[in-house]
Amino acid sequence: MPSTNSHGSKPERVALYLRVSSEEQRDRETIELQRDFLEQYCNLHELEVTDVYEDNGVSGTIPVYERPEGRRLLEDAKGGGFGALLVYRLDRLGRSLLVIVDAHNRLEEAGVAMRSGTEPIDTSNPSGRFIFQMLASFADFERESIRERTQAGLHRALRNGKQLGMIPYGYDISPDGSFVIIEDEARIVAEIIVNIAAGATLYSEAERLNDEGVPSPGSKNRGKPRKYGSMWRVPTVQGIVKRGAYSGTHSERPQGTHRAESPCHSGAGAATEGPRPHGGE
């Protein structure tokens, strides 16, 4: 525990580090809350605050040395302006074990101890270092558990036919989250697939669609109108031909996970009853 200054000795010099990440976290736990708590902590223990470093809207998975204020903090630590870094909670320093340990090692090289205002952590003594190692491991375990639960939820939603990302050309999403065929767009998809199957090239299909003034797929998000592109290109046509949704299986790969598949009505199949290659007899 930090010592008080009851005998008039020079107060210990500390720096404060504050961080929040997402909008959700800003609403729940603000920078001001951390600042107010740590300032009261320093008044109680008669600590002299040399500087305050605030990383607002910065993820705890980003190494401290890559954060704007974190970089300045580490540079100042090398200058010997303070002997300890005080944080509201250990996870303000980092959300992964590697990030926290890296920050600890860099501060230790500069002769700066780490302390938490709400946890029994003080790396200037052996017991504090032991508790630091345990809590850092718990913080890493919590982050990985949240990540696994999030990934499981995404895959469950995809398997149940829910669309989470960009909506494929030829489809919209119903209120219950399932795919709905857009007939006009599905007809274009069917023409492309039938013509390619009959021997047309990707380039000739892109040229045909542009000549006919058909808007290219562009992009569409749930609940918003499709933003059509200006022209068809070879990769656009190729994406239509290769997309599994048009054969009844839509696949997504949420970031950091393996690919998941979900059923959907085949837009191409729905619009190709008795199709013929475009321009045929």
What residues act catalytically?
Answer: 21
- Closest residue by Cα to residue 164 from 154, 175, 174: 154
- Report the candidate in 169, 183, 269 with the shortest Cα–Cα distance to residue 216: 169
Compute the C-alpha angle 240/244/245, nearest 5°.
85
Burial 101-112 (b: 16+ CB within 10 A, else e): bbbbebbeebeb
State the Cα–Cα distance between residues 74 and 254, nearest whole angstrom.
35
